[in-house]
Amino acid sequence: MGEEGKAKTRVLFCGPHFPASHNYTKEYLKKYPLIQVDDLPFDSIPNLIGNYDICVVKSMKLNSDLIAGATRMKVIMQYGVGLEGIDITAATNHGIKVARIPGKDTGNAASCAEMAIYFMLGLLRKQNEMQISVRLKKLGDPIGDTLFGKTVFILGYGNIGIELAKRLRPFGVKILATKRNWTSNKLTSTEPTAQNGMLEDPVDEKGCHEDIFEFAKKSDIVVCCLTMNSETAGIVNKDFISSMKKGALLVNIARGGLLDYKAVYDGLESGHLGGLGIDVAWTEPFDPDDPILKFSNVLLTPHVAGVTEASYRSMAKVVGDVAIQLQLGKPLTGIEYVN
C-alpha cells in the first residue's frame, strides 16, 4: 500500500499550557506527513478525543468519561513524569496503555534540580528585597545568606532528588533524604553509584517516611520532590511545618497538592517559615492576587522547573518516536508503562 492509502497517526496535546511541548513535537515530526499533531482547547477535547491514537495530557484531568470516548486511543502519555491526573484504571479497562517519559534520561530531572537550587539561592540572597533596593537606589542591602554550611532535606529521593543531591554536594551542605518507602540505608539501583557518574553517595543521612519530622527539625531547607498520590497529598501540613526550624526555607518543585495551603500561609504569617519557593501551586494557573504573594520571602514561578530547551527537545523526540513507531506498526519503546 502506498503512503497515500495509509491512515494517519494522530497525536493530541490537551490544552494551551506548556506550548513548547506540542510546538517542539510538531517540529520534530514535520518530515512525517502521515503523523498529525494537534493542540486543542480543553472544552473541545470531549467531542474530539475519539479521533486520536496518542494523547499527551499535560495539565488536563483525563477521567473515566473522557477515556471512554477515546475509542481509537493506543497510549496516553504525560510530557514529564506525573500521572496523577489520569484515571489509570479506566484506561486499563479500555485497553489503553498509560506511560510517562523517563525524567532522568531526558534532562527533566536535572532541569528540576537546577530550579530547586535557583529557589534556594534566591531565598537565601533575598531576591525580592534586592529588587526593591535596586528601585530605591540602595546599595549593600539586604543582607543575604550562603548555601554553604546549610543542612538540606530532600523529601522524596527519586530521580529529581538524586540529581539535586549531586548538584548540592559542591556547595558544602549536609544532605538528608527520605523516600516514603525507604526502609534501609542500602543503595538501590536508581541511586547514585560509580556506574552512573557518582563515586560516592552524596547523601549524608537517609531515612524512611517515619523520619520526616526528625529530618525537618534538623534542616535549614526542605525541598519537596515527592510523587503526588493519596499517601503524600498534604504531607507538608501544620505538624510538619511546626517541626521545621524557625526560619527554615521550604521549596516545592513537585506538585502543589503536597503542601497544605493554610499551614504554609500560617507559617509565613507567623514568621516560622523563613521563606517559600514554589514552581507548582494548589491551583494552576496560579492566582496572581493570591494572598500568599504578599510576603516578600515568597518566590513563585509558573510551573517551569522542567521547561528547558534541553528537556523539552528530548521529550519531544520521545513523543515523536512513539508516534513514528505506532505509524510503522512497531512496538512502542522509550517510555515507562504503568499499566
253 contact partners, CB below 8 Å, separation of at least 6: 112, 115, 116, 119, 160, 223, 224, 225, 278, 279, 280, 305
Mean pLDDT for the stretch of residues 324-337: 93
Fold of 108-300: Rossmann fold (3.40.50)
Mean pLDDT for the stretch of residues 268-277: 98
| Pair 176, 245: CB distance under 8 Å | no
Burial class (CB within 10 angstroms; exposed 0-12, middle 13-18, buried 19+) of 123: buried
Domains 3-105+309-337 and 108-300 share a fold: yes
Fold of 3-105+309-337: Rossmann fold (3.40.50)
| Distances, alpha carbon 318 to alpha carbons 60, 93, 315, in Å | 20, 25, 5
Cell of 112: 528540576
State pLDDT tens for residues 5-27. Answer: 578 999 999 999 999 999 999 99
3 or 165: which carries more pLDDT confidence? 165
At residue 199, the pLDDT reads 55
Report domain extents, the chain.
3-105+309-337, 108-300
Mean pLDDT for the stretch of residues 313-338: 94
| pLDDT of 145 over the 70 cut | yes
Cell of 201: 553517595
Query: What pTM did the predictor assign?
Result: 0.88
Report how far residue 179's alpha carbon sits from residue 219's, in angstroms, rounded to the nearest whole number.
Answer: 16
CA atoms within 13 A on the CB side of 109: 23
Mean pLDDT over the full length of the chain: 91
